[in-house]
Amino acid sequence: MSRPQAVGVMLIALGLIYALLYAAWLRKRRRNTSAAVAVAAPRTGTDGADEVPGSVVRAEGTYVSTTTAASRLERVAVEGLGNRARATVAIRRGSPDELIRFERQGESDVVIPRSRLVDVRRDRGMAGKFVGANRLLVVRWKADDEAIYETGFLPRHRADLERLESALWWHQAGSSITADESAQSTDVQNPEGDPRT
């Protein structure tokens, strides 16, 4: 085999490899299309102008990724949801349609309304980011087709993690609250068992 023929065979092989990788990427996008419901249009300058002071909890940090709940290593490729970015998370406790908004730099915002929120927990990491301690805030939410996804956020300051958890405490749909959170709740319960007092 001559040198030009060898180069031609190598180029064809590389082309096939790239074609297979692209086909796999397209299949992955089609598999998680329901996650696109969380992608929001950028906020305008007038949005949030009438917010009640104290009703919004904000924290700066890193938007880590959105993955499927079944596999925390499987990033969602739809609409850049799997891309890491610097971000600010805003929790609007009085807004059921926009309870959580991740305002990402260079990417579309991600919005999770109250009706989609399943639970919130701390974790050591997920696809693309692993930290030594449970400093990652993971928000589990569901799409229209009942598929469950997880979105991770790493606050810049450790104190912000507790603020975010407290703001989301009463909005969780189920009883899947972490053991640390359950222990904290017993400190504030009244004799009738209402933890809100």
The residue among 147 and 133 whose pLDDT is bigger is: 147
Per-domain residue ranges for the chain? 3-31, 55-182
For 32, list phi and psi in degrees, rounded to 5: -115, 30
pLDDT, average across residues 79-97: 88
Greatest mean pLDDT among 69-73, 117-121, 178-182, 189-193 lies in 117-121
* 41 Cβ contact partners less than 8 Å away, ≥ 6 residues apart: 108, 109
Assigned token pair, 11: 């180029």
**In the predicted model, is pLDDT for residue 160 greater than 80?**
yes
* Mean residue pLDDT across the chain: 77
Q: What is the pLDDT of residue 182?
A: 35
Of 22, 26, 131, 109, residue with least CA distance to 63: 109
| Residue 51: other Cβ atoms inside 10 A | 13
Share of the chain above pLDDT 90, in %: 30
Model confidence band, residue 164 (pLDDT cutoffs 50, 70, 90): very high
Mark residue 94 as left, alpha or beta (left: phi above 0; alpha: psi -120 to 50; beta: remaining): alpha
The residue among 2 and 26 whose pLDDT is bigger is: 2
- At 97-116, the pLDDT tens digits run 889 999 999 999 999 999 99
List, as one string, the DSSP characters of 98-158. GSEEEEETTS-EEEE-GGGEEEEEEESEETTEE-SSS-EEEEEEE-TT--EEEEEEEESSH
Paired with 57 in beta bridges are 91
**In the predicted model, is pLDDT for residue 130 greater than 90?**
no
Of 57, 54, 48, residue with least CA distance to 167: 57
Q: What is the pLDDT of residue 94?
A: 74
Regarding the domain delimited by 55-182, which CATH topology (the fold level of the hierarchy) does it fall under? PH-domain like (2.30.29)
* 49 Cβ contact partners less than 8 Å away, ≥ 6 residues apart: none
The residue among 43 and 187 whose pLDDT is bigger is: 43
**In the predicted model, is pLDDT for residue 195 greater than 60?**
no
Whether pTM > 0.95 for this model: the answer is: no
- At 17-55, the pLDDT tens digits run 887 777 666 665 556 678 788 787 555 554 554 455 457
Q: What is the pLDDT of residue 49?
A: 45
CA distance 25 to 30: 9
